[in-house]
Structure 1
Amino acid sequence: MEIQNDSSRRDANSESSPRLFSHGRDSFLTKDEERTIESWILNAPDPPPCFQDVKENFEDMFKSSHTNPDSAFVKIFVNFVLNVRLQNGPVDPGSPFNLPGHGLPLTRHTSVFGPHTPYLHGVYGGWNAPTLMNREVCMLKFVEDTTNESEWWLKVREPENVLQWKRQVLELPWAEYWPHADFTEAMADACLAELAKKANLFEETGMVPVMDYAAYVIKSDTLLTQTLKDELKVAVEPLESFQRSQKDWQPDTDGKVLNVVDPSLYPLLYGTSKILPDQHVPLDGCIDYCGMGEVIPQPPKPILDRHIVNHVRDKGFFKRDIQAPSPRNPRAMMAMEVSQIQVIVKMVNIHPTPEKPIYEGSPWQIEGQAIERICATALFYYDCDNIADTPISFRTQGDREDLAHKSHYIVGDWLSIEKVFAMKIRETRLQEIGSVLTREGRAIFYPNVYQNRLGPFELVDKTRPGHCKMLALFLVDPANPIISTANIPPQRQDWWSEKFEDLSLVRTLPPELWHQINENVDFPISKETAKKNRAEMTSERAIEPYFEVLDVVKSQEPVP
């Protein structure tokens, strides 16, 4: 939803304004100046430059610029890019297969502040959203609830129905939904006008954008046809039966969440996984490649973590003439071939039973790890039975520091800010946006700058079991492709064992000896080792402990 309040704050990240700073002309950097500095730092030869090198060459970079290199805001930007350069490290020129972790540094990205970095979360200098006002959160809630009604896109064109919606929304006890919240006639009129636009979009595409103010959540009840759902159920049944027999229940869910397809069970492990850099692993017959390839080495530590005793800087590079970069072609930046698309697949079933009728919900999570470069998620609820419609909640990182800098208030007067803005200033910079209802047949799409949490639900009829079956597709940033199963052979030890059991030499071995061989091989990966690795990965992905520590530290800092 396009929210117009506080337009100066909303324009902070727009194309027509400086992206980072809004102070005097000698303080901020334009987009072209940022790109020039970024290009200069990232392309400098090793050892990486320092801030003094940038400062010494500032005049050569911007001969006609009045920007002050000693400005605090310029220093923030320069130091951030320098930090990225230190983490990226050098490229391996001898590798014919250049992807992050093999030929390229693990932390390599195409751009620092370009359009392909928003999936980075919680990194200083990365993406954050303007802080919502309490009233804006309520407006998002009203739009979401209304678009869950049957034939809402038709009702929004009926004046009598629109008046009824308006009366109802003004009478709701909004302070019970959100602290200090209310709802005015002007807010209702703005929402109803927005709903009329969304109705046109829905009739054209079958999709509805919601939770839309800095990024979007999109929902659709038309993409999953009944035929497609039926075909998917039939195709998945063998997988479900196998996983039920294996009892691969997700840890800490009391036997309610079944992992049908789990990408974290046999993931890429540096120092363990094998790669075929010059060969494609086909889907048909992929087991024949099991155990083949070269081990992917552990990535070297970033230069930032190395102890550099002495070095001589390349003064020739730093004294060269600086060529300002040409403007980038937006169309070229967005163009991509279908073959570049990489998707990580996950399938999960939730099974409440009469003995365990309540699913407690998931913790707050963000999809994948940084090396997986996930930028967006698509969720498909293709089979639900005997459960109530369930909300999936979203929150994101807000610009609390920027808000505190721009707001004029008496130090310590937190209550006045919290009466207006939907954020606990003393607790966290994460702001909850709202929730979107999930139901059978619904598809939900959201960017990876939104953390998500599936809400609790229970059986409608407590006398019989129910289920909620989901297919999740995680889109890898097309501008930053990663190592995938296209070059990684299967890593499952049981598949490898079945393959070799048919060999005549193996058939001559005593069963006890063959079992002992299987027990002692380090690779391929055994099921027990895979589950241990998954538990460690899940622990690393935990959001709550990290942000609790972060928020405690932040709350100790005075806000000007």
Structure 2
Amino acid sequence: MLLGSNNQNTDLKSFPHPFRSGNYGEGSEPKTLIELQMMDYDSIRDQSMEMSVVDGVWQSDELISQDIKQSLISYVIILENVPENEQDWHPGTNKQILDLVHPSLFCFVNQITRVINDKNHFINVDNALEHIDYTRSNVYQWIPTEFNISQDGKVKIESYINNLHPIQHKNLYQIIENIFQCFIPLFNTVLTDLIYNQNIPNQIIVDPYQRYADESSSDNQDDDDDNNHHRRTIIQPDVEEFQIPLSTNSNINLCGRKLQIIVKLANIILTPSNPKYPGDDHYGVNSVYGLQDEQPLNQSLVDPTIRILSTAHIPPQQSHWYIDLMRSTSPFNRLPSLVINKIMSYIDFPMTMNQAKQHRDKLMDERKYFISQNNHLLFERPFSLCEH
């Protein structure tokens, strides 16, 4: 199932030793470790995916078929087609980003969100709305969904997606399953790359205590100290033989596992009256290609080695879901809407939309300050998990 593996690339002789040739100007033979590494990545490049210009990031424009793309685009229209007062514009985006499915809304809230007490009890897609009472109260967290990956790579969503109704939008669940199935090879490659690139084998190690030649100091050392410092002879470090960065025997394969996935879906809307979108750098293409709407679907993989609270053990918190359920369930379906709304007003669980938005704002502020304080310690440039 793993695409882009380097199982066929085990002959180190195919990679010339750096600086072997004296023809530095001809460019016919790689001379640096970076060039050799690029040769290796080129050898494992697949027609469907390739490594991007950013270390550890792989990309593809070919994994998802046009039929699947079109099915997603067509269904997104249903999510967008809601009354104006129900549209959820992402905070701080000047009504340019319409959130369709976002994990910051109705997120897990410490001491407020109820969690199923019995860890063996599993909330699946079909019975997600039956657990309003079978709960107990348990810090902000996005709530992932349980995805089951079969041995042959087939994907099945086993719990509801936060903020995506499991019954009303059941067809979209299947579309998301099909899309995630296409991305499994990319996740496999990224995880494999992540593990084996932690110890980079092709570095030129310089001993800081033996970096310069041991030269005898002059009699006028005190007078010529600065000159001697700048004229020291640098010892050229040895260049080791090139090693293939990726393992050929221990590739990560997510097939046959249960994964936790965070799903996000939004619509970026640009209009002649509101045409400038201050998004990431790649949106500069708009200045070339003109205005365009986008519907980015983001599927974030939770560390497969760590299990966190998911929708399998957290019942839906959307109060309007339960109002709709009561209106369609006897004997509540015989009550006027005014009475149903009054009943719900006495229940402190689930959250109302206003409460969920207040918690979303606090979560976003918490993440914003954490990122601004810690980002520079980990990344060369600002890094964000936000797809828009």
Structure 2 residue aligned with 1:523: 349
Higher helix share: 1
3-state SS, counterpart of residue 490 of structure 1 = coil
Please state how far the C-alpha of 1:275 moved relative to its aligned partner: 2.5
Distance 1:217 1:337, change over 3 A: closer
Match status 1:466 vs 2:309: no
Structure 2 residue aligned with 1:225: 65
Match of 1:197 among 13, 37, 40: 40
Deviation digits for residues 467-520 of structure 1, max 9, x if unmatched? 122111111111111111112221110011111123444355454333222334
Distance 1:298 1:472, change over 3 A: closer
Structure 1 residue aligned with 2:259: 341
Distance 1:284 1:545, change over 3 A: closer
- Structure 2 letter corresponding to 1:523: F
Over the residues paired in the alignment, what is the CA RMSD in angstroms?
3.9
Distance 1:256 1:296 in 2: 36
Match status 1:490 vs 2:316: yes
Match of 1:237 among 77, 83, 90: 77
Match status 1:292 vs 2:210: no
Deviation digits for residues 381-403 of structure 1, max 9, x if unmatched? xxxxxxxxx52xxxxxxxxxxxx
User: Any unmatched runs of 5+ in structure 2?
Assistant: 1-23, 141-246, 378-388
Match of 1:249 among 89, 100, 105: 89
Deviation digits for residues 431-484 of structure 1, max 9, x if unmatched? xxxxxxxxxxxxxxxxxxxxxxxx55646576xx52122111111111111111
Structure 2 length-normalised TM: 0.53
Q: Tell me, yes or no, if the aligned pair for 1:343 and 1:473 is still in contact at 8 Å.
A: yes
Bigger relative contact order, structure 1 or 2, given CA contacts below 8 A and separation 6+?
Answer: 2
Distance 1:338 1:501, change over 3 A: same
Please state how far the C-alpha of 1:291 moved relative to its aligned partner: 1.1
Please state how far the C-alpha of 1:205 moved relative to its aligned partner: 5.8
Q: Tell me, yes or no, if the aligned pair for 2:123 and 2:312 is still in contact at 8 Å.
A: yes
3-state SS, counterpart of residue 468 of structure 1 = coil
Structure 2 residue aligned with 1:273: 113
Structure 1 length-normalised TM: 0.38
Distance 2:92 2:371 in 1: 16
3-state SS, counterpart of residue 210 of structure 1 = coil
Please state how far the C-alpha of 1:543 moved relative to its aligned partner: 4.1
Distance 1:258 1:243, change over 3 A: farther
Deviation digits for residues 233-255 of structure 1, max 9, x if unmatched? 22333223248662211011000
- Structure 1 letter corresponding to 2:293: H
Distance 2:31 2:80 in 1: 46
Q: Tell me, yes or no, if the aligned pair for 1:243 and 1:260 is still in contact at 8 Å.
A: no
- Structure 2 letter corresponding to 1:274: R
Distance 1:270 1:333 in 2: 38
3-state SS, counterpart of residue 202 of structure 1 = coil
Please state how far the C-alpha of 1:187 moved relative to its aligned partner: 9.6
Q: Tell me, yes or no, if the aligned pair for 2:268 and 2:293 is still in contact at 8 Å.
A: yes
Distance 1:194 1:335 in 2: 23
Structure 2 residue aligned with 1:357: 275
Structure 2 residue aligned with 1:477: 303
Distance 2:370 2:124 in 1: 40
Please state how far the C-alpha of 1:548 moved relative to its aligned partner: 8.8
Distance 2:268 2:375 in 1: 31
Q: Tell me, yes or no, if the aligned pair for 1:358 and 1:458 is still in contact at 8 Å.
A: no
3-state SS, counterpart of residue 358 of structure 1 = coil
Structure 2 residue aligned with 1:386: none
3-state SS, counterpart of residue 296 of structure 2 = strand
Q: Tell me, yes or no, if the aligned pair for 1:353 and 1:459 is still in contact at 8 Å.
A: no
- Structure 2 letter corresponding to 1:198: Y
- Structure 2 letter corresponding to 1:268: F
1:285-434 aligned within 5 A: 285-287=127-129, 289-297=130-138, 338-361=256-279, 391=282
Structure 2 residue aligned with 1:536: 362
User: Any unmatched runs of 5+ in structure 1?
Assistant: 1-165, 168-183, 300-329, 363-389, 392-454, 552-560
Please state how far the C-alpha of 1:262 moved relative to its aligned partner: 0.5
Distance 1:478 1:244 in 2: 39
Structure 2 residue aligned with 1:264: 104
Please state how far the C-alpha of 1:218 moved relative to its aligned partner: 1.3
Structure 1 residue aligned with 2:124: 282
- Structure 2 letter corresponding to 1:486: A
Distance 1:188 1:253, change over 3 A: farther
- Structure 2 letter corresponding to 1:340: K
Q: Tell me, yes or no, if the aligned pair for 1:459 and 1:466 is still in contact at 8 Å.
A: no
Please state how far the C-alpha of 1:272 moved relative to its aligned partner: 2.1
Distance 1:348 1:298, change over 3 A: closer
Is the deviation greater in 505-514 or in 233-242? 505-514
Please state how far the C-alpha of 1:260 moved relative to its aligned partner: 1.4
3-state SS, counterpart of residue 360 of structure 2 = helix
Please state how far the C-alpha of 1:210 moved relative to its aligned partner: 3.0
Distance 1:211 1:459 in 2: 23
Deviation digits for residues 14-44 of structure 1, max 9, x if unmatched? xxxxxxxxxxxxxxxxxxxxxxxxxxxxxxx
- Structure 2 letter corresponding to 1:253: T
Deviation digits for residues 392-426 of structure 1, max 9, x if unmatched? xxxxxxxxxxxxxxxxxxxxxxxxxxxxxxxxxxx
Q: Tell me, yes or no, if the aligned pair for 2:90 and 2:98 is still in contact at 8 Å.
A: yes
3-state SS, counterpart of residue 59 of structure 2 = strand
Is the deviation greater in 193-202 or in 524-533? 193-202
Distance 2:76 2:294 in 1: 14
